[in-house]
C-alpha cells in the first residue's frame, strides 16, 4: 500500500545550489531523495513547498513523498535522517492523506531575514553564514513605515527578480515584522507565496530606506510603477531563512501515523 509522507526539513543552504534538483549540482531536493531511496528501496520524488534559492536556509521546509515502503513512519524518519549529510536534518515525518501536496496546499510561509547591524563584522557572533552585515546604522522605525506599504495584495513586479516568469506578479503579503535582537535586525515576511527573489528585493529596499537614502514613500512608487530600477538591491541569499510553511488543519498528520 502506498503512503503519502509529509516531511519537515531543515538545512544550512550555504553549500547547496538551492532546493530544486539541477544536473551536476548539489541541491537539497536531490540530497533528500538519495537518502530516502536508500531506505525505501525504490525511486522517489521529494516535492518541496518552496524552491529556496542557492545559499538560502530553512528551519521548516515542508515536502512530501509517495512510498510503498511499510517501515513505521517514526523509524522511516530516523533511517532517512541517518543517511543525510550534516547540513540537512529531517525534523519530522508523518503520514498524510493521499491527495496532500506540499506545494499546492501551502497557505502561508514565513521567511526571516537577519541583518547584523553593527560596525564590526559578525564573525565573533558566529553569524557570518546566516546574516547580512550592514555596518551603516539602520533606522528601524523608517523601515517599519515603509514595510507597512508592502503589506496587502499588490503587484510586486518592481520587487522581484526576472529569473522565474509567472503568469501574474500579484502576491499577498500578510505581515512584515521588524525588530532588533541585540546586534541584529530581524525582518519577518509572511505571505501566501512569493516571486523569485521577492523577499530579498524587499529587504534590499528597506535597507536603503533605513539608511536614509530614500523616504518610506518610495515603496508606493515602486509598487505603482512596477519599475525594478527604483527598488533597492537584492539582499544576499545567506541572510534569508524559510522559518515555516502552514497548511489547513486537515493536512495535519494523524496521531501515531
Cα distance between residue 83 and residue 238, in whole Å? 25
User: 18-22: long-range contacts at Cβ-Cβ below 8 A with a sequence spacing of 24 or more?
Assistant: 18/51, 18/52, 18/53, 18/54, 18/55, 18/56, 19/48, 19/50, 19/51, 19/52, 19/58, 19/61, 20/48, 20/51
Active-site residue, selected from the candidate residues 45, 53, 99, 188 = 53
15 carries an active-site annotation: no
Give the CA radius of gyration of the chain: 19
Q: Phi and psi (nearest 5°) for 14?
A: -55, -45
Cα distance between residue 257 and residue 255, in whole Å? 6
What is the set of active-site residues?
Answer: 53
Amino acid at each position: 500500500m502506498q503512503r503519502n509522507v509529509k516531511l519537515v526539513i531543515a538545512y544550512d543552504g550555504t553549500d547547496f545550489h538551492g532546493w530544486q534538483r539541477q544536473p551536476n549540482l548539489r541541491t537539497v531536493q536531490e540530497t533528500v531523495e538519495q537518502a530516502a531511496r536508500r531506505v525505501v528501496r525504490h525511486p522517489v520524488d521529494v516535492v518541496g513547498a518552496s524552491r529556496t534559492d542557492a545559499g538560502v536556509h530553512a528551519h521548516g521546509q515542508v515536502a512530501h513523498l509517495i512510498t510503498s515502503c511499510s517501515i513505521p513512519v517514526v523509524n522511516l524518519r530516523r533511517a532517512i535522517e541517518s543517511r543525510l549529510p550534516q547540513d540537512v536534518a529531517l525534523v519530522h515525518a508523518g503520514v498524510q492523506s493521499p491527495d496532500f501536496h506540499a506545494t499546492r496546499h501551502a497557505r502561508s510561509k514565513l521567511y526571516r531575514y537577519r541583518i547584523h547591524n553593527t560596525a564590526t563584522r559578525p564573525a565573533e557572533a558566529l553569524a557570518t553564514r546566516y546574516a547580512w552585515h550592514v555596518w551603516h546604522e539602520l533606522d528601524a522605525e523608517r523601515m517599519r513605515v515603509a514595510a507597512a506599504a508592502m503589506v496587502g495584495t499588490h503587484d510586486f513586479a518592481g520587487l522581484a527578480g526576472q529569473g522565474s516568469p509567472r503568469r501574474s506578479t500579484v502576491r499577498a503579503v500578510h505581515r512584515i515584522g521588524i525588530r532588533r535582537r541585540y546586534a541584529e535586525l530581524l525582518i519577518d515576511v509572511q505571505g501566501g507565496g512569493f516571486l523569485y527573489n521577492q523577499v530579498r528585493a524587499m529587504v534590499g529596499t528597506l535597507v536603503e530606506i533605513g539608511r536614509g537614502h530614500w523616504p518610506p514613500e518610495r515603496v508606493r512608487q515602486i509598487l505603482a510603477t512596477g519599475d525594478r530600477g527604483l527598488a533597492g538591491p537584492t539582499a544576499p541569499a545567506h541572510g534569508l531563512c524559510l522559518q515555516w510553511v502552514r497548511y489547513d488543519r486537515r493536512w495535519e498528520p494523524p496521531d501515531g501515523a
